[in-house]
Structure 1
Amino acid sequence: SAIPLLRHHHHQAMDARRRSPKKRKFERVPDQDSPPGSGSAGVDLINALPDAVLCTIVSLLPTKDGARTQAIARRWRPLWRSAPLNLVADSTLSRQQRKRVVYVTKILAEHPGPALRLNLPYIRRRDYGKIDGWLRSQALTDLQELHLGYDSQDSPPPSLLSPSALRFAPTLRVATFTDCHFPDLSAQSLNFSHLQQLGLYGVTFSALSAHYLNFPRLKQLTMSVVTILEDALHNMLSGCLSLESLLLEDNVGFARLRISSLTLRSIGFSAPYTQGPSLFHELVIEDAPCLERLLPLSPDYGPTIVRVIRAPKLQVLGVLSKGISKLHIGTTVFQEMTAISLTTTMRTVKVLVIESFGPNLDAVIGFLKCFPCLERLYVLSQPWMEMKNVQKYDPLDPIECLESYLKRVVWKNYIGDMLDVEFAKFFVLNAKVLEEMKFVSSNSCDRQWKSNQHMCLQVDSRASPDARLEFISCMDVLGDDKRTHDLSMADPFE
């Protein structure tokens, strides 16, 4: 890595200065024809790099380290000013807020630009007068990445986002705005022509500000604790012509959201914990020909109604729970996890995550029939004393996924009591191509306990001779943003 070598050069230079007060003549780089590892002592691989490469390295360093490279040697002095500015004003720049303000002002005055990144994560009200001047600095020419975070502890929030921040709309690739009010645009369209990732946290939009925003190349959008009206949200999303992943968490101002997108591949969503008439309670997937993931993040809090009208490529679905009082898959309807009608099947779904109270085998079987090509099933078990699982597998009425597709079952919160055993045994004895069944338990999972579980589950009589049963005691958490936005994973719950 180049970064440790840079730090080594910096420390060598500082040591040399302490040893001798005299200025040292710049030493020529040794003969570069000697390959690395040839035994030539003192070969300076870093200084052998072209200036353009060194500038790239400097622009990727933390702000303080990047500025300090000027002390390495005479050749390095102009590089920091030539490298695209990477200015991150967090605790790595200084632990004191007032010093960070001084440093930001000084850096923007000394650096000629252009800029790679500007990150101001904790803007205090007392510093608002400086923000506009900072954002208008010549050093921020062609800014590609902007993160502005206003301090939520200032009263009264939210603070108005400095209009100067909008001047970067033509060049930004990545942007994040936190705890602020988006300014009105006075009926003037604002085109973020190159923006690909946008994060909005605690942001308030008026109808005017959202209506005139366009994000033609935006691929990833996160909206968390955002206040926005229903029409304004629909207008904003309609301007996202290339959107691939959308994460909606705990937003307010709209009760119903309709999704029609030719490009969306993943949607993660949740409603806020509080209740009210303008809170998110219904999601309708009207037409999403590329949608692969539909991820209710906190279904116990809503939305209570989810309708999937057209999503011909849907592969991953869940977490589903009783919190979704009505789930429509085409013309098939589930009411509080129970199949009311099974008139539509969706053969594209490969991964299903459900929260099962009891656990409730009857409810799960309804989903297995709705998704006949299911390959992976995740069960989040919740104890329910009244539940009785007496359903038996009928060979004359086979379940297609148990016969030909289901390869992996993961059970979280497995206790190992009689209710759990009867539920799990259904899959052990009937899933004919099962490869792995994993039980995640809060128990110690010692050898004796595992041996008893194998006996109760009748492992010797398993339908798939190659099926492996694994009992583990752990807690694994995958963040909601990663599940929604990381499209490289075929199974985001793995």
Structure 2
Amino acid sequence: MAPSALRFSSTLRVAEFVRCQFPNAAACQAHFRNLRHLNLEMVTISEGSLHAMLSSCPVLNSLILNYCSGFRCLMINSPKLKHVEMYIGRSETEITLEELTVVNAPCLEKLHHRAPYEDSMYISIISAPKLKILGRITEGIFRLELGTAVFNGLHDVRVAAIMRTVKVLSLRIEYLDLDVIINFMKCFPCMEKLYIKTYLMDMDTQNMRLHNSKDHLECLDLHLKKLRISYYHGTRSHVEFAKFFVLNTRVLESMVLDVEHRKMGYDWWIENQRRQLQLKKRASIGAQLSFTSDDCFNYLNDIHEFRSM
């Protein structure tokens, strides 16, 4: 990219750079005093240049990074930033993001991170007091720090603090494991919407928590209204997992189960699933259950909470 492309940087309010290499000199010299929305797509930029550019955006409201390279660490320290969205690709020849730290983002409301499923990431959220929407958290994240709550993977958890601001959470987990989900509900007790994508059909039945668990969770009693499970197969462990929420979520309004397209044509299968889920005993009398065959891999793109602001 020619440095002259930034000659109007001080007056820009919206900027989008696509398929280019961002020059170090330009990033350090540009001053985006009025920039509110920044979108970098398939851009190569060094770590120093990226941080220099972000520090020159005092009123930045929205940041989108799509398949960018050249930096391993991203530190967010922005007084006005509300929306961060990142799609990370992996390459054997390019440097890509491995560590994300939210140092101080007093206005941040949405943090959406999407990377390859096997990706190994370190994410730390030190200060984001208004964070409402968080996703997608996967088992590939080897360490997740939310204040003083630490997730070493999704199964090794130390919940020392809670974040009451988070209302929407997106998870991508190997198995539908209630212990994992309950740990997140303890960390985010005011969560209202939960989106879960799994990719294996069954789990060790010894690890299944029974639906009559005695755990008393504020999230289940007072807040959780919408649950969506992608790649639902209707196996024993999947049924037990979904039934736990049917029988214990007191303000649930809707549960959506994404299934294989062919199963949608079998009325007997749908009715059998409804019977096994014990809908007549549901904790929330107004809860509605529906089955869909939407694209399990892309449904988050169609959900209002995860659209670009």
Deviations 1:76-130 (A, max 9, x none): xxxxxxxxxxxxxxxxxxxxxxxxxxxxxxxxxxxxxxxxxxxxxxxxxxxxxxx
Q: Partners of 2:169 and 2:176 in 1: how far apart? A: 16
CA contact (8 A) 1:332 1:341 kept: yes
Give the equivalent residue in structure 2 for 1:486: 308
- 1:439 is aligned to 257
2:294 maps to amino acid: C
The whole-number CA distance in structure 2 between the counterparts of 1:427 and 1:166 is 53
Report the residue type matching 1:451 in the other structure: E
SS in 1 for 2:123: strand
TM-score, L = length of structure 2 = 0.90
Number of the residue aligned with 1:292: 109
Do the aligned residues in 2 keep the contact of 1:270 with 1:301 (CA within 8 Å)?
no
The 1:471/1:295 distance shift into structure 2, 3 A limit, reads same
State the AA in 2 paired with 1:218. L
| Aligned 8 A contact 2:3 2:23 in 1 | no
**Which letter maps to 1:340?**
V
Structure 1 Cα separation of the partners of residues 118 and 215 of structure 2: 36
Relative distance call for 1:277 and 1:199 in structure 2 (3 A) is closer
Richer in strand (by share): 2
Q: Distance in 2 between matches of 1:425 and 1:367?
A: 18
Residue equivalent to 1:390: 208
Alignment match, 2:149: 332
Residue 212 in 1 paired to residue 29 in 2? Answer: yes
* 1:340 Cα offset (Å): 2.0
Counterpart AA for 1:467:
A
The residue identity in structure 2 corresponding to 1:465 is: I
CA contact (8 A) 1:280 1:302 kept: no
Looking at CA atoms only, which structure, 1 or 2, has the larger radius of gyration?
1
Aligned to 1:402: 220
Task: Extract unaligned runs of 5+ from structure 2.
Answer: none
- What's the counterpart of residue 2 of structure 2? 161
> Paired residue for 1:460?
280
- Offset at residue 477 of structure 1 (A): 4.1
Contact 1:246 1:485 in 2 (8 A): no
CA offsets, 1:290-345, max 9 Å, x none?
A: 00011112252646100000000000011111121111000111122124200010
Distance 1:359 1:386 in 2: 8
Could you tell me whether the CA contact under 8 Å between 1:360 and 1:387 is conserved in 2? no
The CA deviation at 1:254 is: 1.4
**Matching of residue 319 in structure 1 with residue 136 in structure 2:** yes
The alignment partner of 1:300 has SS state of coil
Aligned equivalents of 1:332 and 1:299: distance in 2? Answer: 24
Aligned to 1:472: 292
1:352 corresponds to: 169
Secondary structure at 1:283 match in 2: strand
Identity of aligned residues (%): 36
Secondary structure of the residue aligned to 1:225 is: strand
Using the alignment, how far apart are the partners of 1:485 and 1:398 within structure 2? 33
Contact 1:299–1:322 (CA<8 Å) still a contact in 2?
no
1:483–1:273: structure 2 CA closer, same or farther, 3 Å change rule?
A: farther
Q: CA deviation at 1:230?
A: 1.2
* Aligned counterpart, 1:74: none
Give 1:395 deviation, angstroms.
Answer: 6.6
CA distance in 2, matches of 1:278, 1:439: 37
Q: Which residue of 1 aligns with 2:99?
A: 282
| Higher RCO, Cα 8 Å, sep 6+ | 2
Q: SS state of the match for residue 359, structure 1?
A: coil
* 1:447, distance to aligned residue in structure 2 (A): 2.3
Give the structure with the higher percent helix. 1
The residue that corresponds to 1:22 in the other structure is none
Whole-Å separation in 2 of the counterparts to 1:430 and 1:408: 13
Partner of 1:380: 197
Q: Deviations over 1:238-290 (max 9, x none)?
A: 01111111111222221111110011111112332124684310000000000
The separation in 2 between residues aligned to 1:257 and 1:215, in whole angstroms, is 19
Query: Structure 1 stretches (4+) deviating beyond 6 angstroms?
Result: 482-485
SS at 1:366's partner residue? Answer: helix
Residue 222 of structure 1 aligns with which residue? 39
